[in-house]
Amino acid sequence: MPVRFVLDCDTGSDDAIAIFAATAHPDLELVAVTTVNGNVALEHVTDNTLRVLDHVGASVPVHAGAARPFMRPDFPVPRAVLNGDSDFQKDSLDFPAAVSAAETQSAVSFLIEAYMDEAFADVTLVATGPLTNIALALATEPRLAARIPRLVVMGGAHANGNVTAAAEFNFWVDPEAAEAVLGAGLREVVIVPLDATHSAPLTAADCDEYEKIGTPAAQGAAKLIRHRLAHDQAASGQAAVSTPVHDPMCVAYLARPDLFTEAVEAFVSVETTGSRTLGELLVDTRPWCPQPPNAAVALRASGEVYREFLRTAFLAGQR
Ligand code: BDR
Ligand code: CA
């Protein structure tokens, strides 16, 4: 039986690779996609998601979600200021214009209706963008915390962040949503922070392999990973040998629970007020931490298992 899941994402190049792998891998079934403001503005996230699904001919319902953070009018620092003149996040991914369309039901309404239904009792929720939709759904229907069987989140960093020294992008964009979701008492939470994603980066040799495989999903992934390598090279001024490809790791974990080679169960929370640490993931590993663990936090991943997962997906192509 394939692992069924809903993907809440902000497509975004690595979210796109997660979708390519998810729609192709024989052990996974992507039930629906919900979109959220993040890497680009919501309208572009939704359009990019439809482009990516159309590129592989996958028919998966897409529900558009929150256009701004849970409580704030905008990111802590507006997107234009954050991105400066970098062209890393282009509004539109380089795939043909979408012919499919989003559903009329909003992401938040969909998540509530779906997870209050017994039919979703086994459906994992995977979040690879800011946690705004999930925070809104939990605020609207608190019983969801007991209904969602498992939440797998790409977000946070136990060591350094990427937007600031303390904060990773997804949690920094909407710290109040991240704090609300992690504190909601969900049954099972798995966090995939930068520590894990940076431990198993992909390379140009991986892109060569995906291009040879040649399925639409494999070619699409290679194009996006090459763009990430080129960006890293331009940003650092040094040849980029490898680049972290964050979001597909959450999807890989569903099919390959042996992906993470080091993890810790701990009480986790997110900083919502610090002037230098806004959006920081706090992983309380103190033996005397007064709160019981509320998440498993992956700290290292196996590059071999990650590559096997992606290879299997791309060889299978689109079902
Ligand atoms: C995360 O932030 C986004 O830019 C990526 O899509 C990924 O989800 C990495 O910090
Ligand atoms: Ca993302």
Nearest CA to ligand 1 atom 2: 169
Q: Minimum-distance ligand to the CA of 169? A: 1
Q: Residue 127 is encoded by which pair of tokens? A: 């979040």
pLDDT value of position 87: 75
Give the mean pLDDT of the chain. Answer: 96
Distance 255 CA to ligand 2 centre (A): 19
Instruction: Convert the pLDDT of each residue in 242-262 to its tens digit.
Output: 999 999 999 999 999 999 999
Q: What is the CATH number of the domain that holds 267?
A: 3.90.245.10
Q: Is the CB of 195 under 6 A from ligand 1?
A: no
Predicted confidence band of residue 232 (pLDDT cuts 50, 70, 90)? confident
Q: Minimum-distance ligand to the CA of 168? A: 1
pLDDT value of position 234: 84
pLDDT value of position 233: 86
Q: Is the CB of 46 under 6 A from ligand 1?
A: no
Predicted confidence band of residue 84 (pLDDT cuts 50, 70, 90)? confident
Strands 242-243 and 202-203: antiparallel
Residue 309, pLDDT > 60, answer: yes
Q: Is the CB of 318 under 6 A from ligand 1?
A: no
Range of the domain at 160: 3-316
Q: Is the CB of 306 under 6 A from ligand 1?
A: no
pLDDT value of position 101: 98
Q: How far apart are CA 21 and CA 140, in angstroms?
A: 32
Q: Residue 239 is encoded by which pair of tokens? A: 């040849």
Q: Is the CB of 199 under 6 A from ligand 1?
A: no
pLDDT value of position 148: 98
What's the Cα-to-Cα distance from 232 to each of 86, 181, 239, rounded to whole Å? Answer: 11, 31, 8
Name the phi and psi angles at 64, rounded to 5: -80, 140
pLDDT value of position 238: 81
Predicted confidence band of residue 236 (pLDDT cuts 50, 70, 90)? confident
Distance 193 CA to ligand 1 centre (A): 10
When pLDDT is averaged across residues 148-172 and rounded to a whole number, the result is 97
Measured from the Cα of 154, ligand 1's closest atom is 8
Number of domains in the chain: 1
Measured from the Cα of 128, ligand 1's closest atom is 8
pTM: 0.97
Predicted confidence band of residue 89 (pLDDT cuts 50, 70, 90)? confident
Residues acting as catalytic residues: 246
